[in-house]
Amino acid sequence: MSGIAELSAIDLAAAIAAGQVGAVEATQTYLDAIEKREPRIDAFNEVLAERAMDTARSIDTRRQNARPLGPLGGVPVAVKDNLCTTDGKTTCSSRILADFQAPYTATAVQKLEDAGAVILGKTNLDEFAMGSSTENSGFKVTRNPWDTDRVPGGSSGGSAACVAAGEAAAALGSDTGGSIRQPAAFCGVVGFKPTYGRVSRLGLVAYGSSLDQIGPLTVDVPDAALLTGVIAGHDPGDSTSVAKDVPDYLGQLETPIENLRIGLPVEFYSNALEAEINAAIHKAADIYKAAGATILDVSLPHSRIDCDAHGNLSSYAVACYYIVAMAEASSNLARYDGVHYGHRTAEKVDDIIDLYSRSRAEGFGQEVKRRIMLGTYTLSSGYYDAYYNKALKVRRLIKNDFDKAFEQCDVLLCPVGPTTAFKIGEKTDDPLTMYLADIYTISVNLAGLPALALPAGLSESNLPIGMQLIGPVFSEDRILRAARMYEKASDITRFRSEMARA
């Protein structure tokens, strides 16, 4: 079958199940695309070609023997390199874990494989998922398939870029403060962050334990529904995983939501937002209105974004997030000491403290070191109450704002980021400016809510513009259906970069 890479994951799985295309043929198509496009993109840290072909051959054998293949039977999928897999390395794009071989496979990845997916390899990320551009990787800089002079977003930039470049049918990422949704917006794909606790975090290398969540990056909303349904569900191995039934996301997807109420957070539409993005979001609101939805203004006062006369941005949510996230990062990354596993210095050391210091200094990058130091400071004696405890109180206020907004509406419609994809190197010298790339996404993680990013158009520079739908906890089905309504009502479906079409 020609045009394998043009098929969605759902259509490809159906074609393989029907015998119209073989899993080996599909896998080889994507491996060929990786070989052709990787020199320009650098989305993968490791390509597991031999294992992928072995899996594909087993899928074809199952089909020939009339055995069920699973909902993702034969579909080539990529996995962010902070998800543990027993095959290949799990590096978190950090030199401190450059040779780490995980002893088990993450639950979400195992569920993909149990559903018949073919794992192509591990994708690049900002080191330990700390970044918004995938420039903080310890190994390489991933580039945006729409414009290779620009970033793909972060931290799941490798996962978003490989889907946008046609190097994988879908991918898994992780989202601590927007790390699925922001790269999805920059690369013109769909990215879904489920409710905290909806997907097991077992095997996800921890950054911010109360914020992290695994989710899919796909070419369209139906594929996002399919993958979310596969990876969702309770896991007794993860104490934060919620024992709650998983709806049939895909089965309900094509049923429009009657009397849908969409809220526009007034605090998000300010001079902090690029005019083209503002126009695209409001055009999306008009499309929803034409489809029968009610559009109304709502308020999220503690997520307010201020922009002064000099263009400097500020937000309670940003301050709150970076205190909580860095405190948790400081705690989680304390385990990398050069003794238990990971990089150990080859230099002669004086004592155990010197061993720890040298190993961590050599293994961690600058951004990770910055966050560890800031997190340790906020947790230190004399500052814990002033910073960390105060941030937890603000986090509660942010959650309360969302709860109040959802009394008036079913979903929120807002931007994903204040700009389209920026140029490589543009923000690396100013960490605060980089942190503000997440001003529209981080409050979702603080509140533990589900949110989905999907394409809303193209800028005059031919760069993708993303929009974000946010819902109450465990409203994944509602968000997916609302997103599908827009996808069908608009002419924006399955964005494909010129690279992916080549």
Q: What angle do CA 243, 245, 251 make, to 5 degrees?
A: 150
Please provide the average confidence, as pLDDT, over all residues in the chain: 95
Query: pLDDT band for position 311 (50/70/90)?
Result: low
pLDDT digits (tens, 9 = 90+) for 331-385: 999 999 988 888 999 999 999 999 999 999 999 999 999 999 999 999 998 888 8
Mean pLDDT across 213-223: 97
Q: Is residue 436 in a domain?
A: no
Q: Is residue 403 in a domain?
A: no
Residue numbers of the domain that contains 239? 4-259+474-501
Q: Is residue 246 in a domain?
A: yes
pLDDT digits (tens, 9 = 90+) for 452-477: 999 999 999 999 999 999 999 999 99
Q: How many domains does the chain divide into?
A: 1
State the pLDDT at residue 1.
44
Q: Is residue 329 in a domain?
A: no
| Catalytic annotation present for 244 | no
* For residue 290, pLDDT beyond 70: yes
pLDDT digits (tens, 9 = 90+) for 173-203: 999 999 999 999 999 999 999 999 999 999 9
Strand, coil or helix: 72: coil
**DSSP string over 150-210:** B---SSSHHHHHHHHTTS-SEEEEEESSSTTHHHHHHHTSEEEEPPTTTB--TTBPPSSTT
| Catalytic annotation present for 179 | yes
> How far apart are alpha carbons 147 and 497 in whole angstroms?
9
State the pLDDT at residue 354.
94
Mean pLDDT across 283-304: 95
Cβ contacts of 161 within 8 Å, gap of 6 or more? 41, 43, 123, 134, 142, 143, 144, 145, 152, 167, 183, 187
Q: Is residue 495 in a domain?
A: yes
Q: Is residue 244 in a domain?
A: yes
| Catalytic annotation present for 155 | yes
Q: Is residue 219 in a domain?
A: yes
pLDDT digits (tens, 9 = 90+) for 153-174: 999 999 999 999 999 999 999 9
Residue 392's beta-bridge partner residues? Answer: none
State the pLDDT at residue 494.
64
Token pair for 418: 């204040």
What does the chain come to in residues?
Answer: 502
Per the residue annotation, which of 155, 159, 200, 497 is the catalytic one?
155
Query: pLDDT band for position 310 (50/70/90)?
Result: low
Q: Is residue 331 in a domain?
A: no
From the list 151, 155, 193, the residue with the least C-alpha distance to 454 is 193
State the pLDDT at residue 231.
98
Please give the residue that has the higher pLDDT: either 430 or 47: 47
* For residue 8, pLDDT beyond 70: yes
Place of tokens 């937890």: 392
Per the residue annotation, which of 132, 179, 200, 475 is the catalytic one?
179
- What is the domain-level CATH number for residue 119? 3.90.1300.10
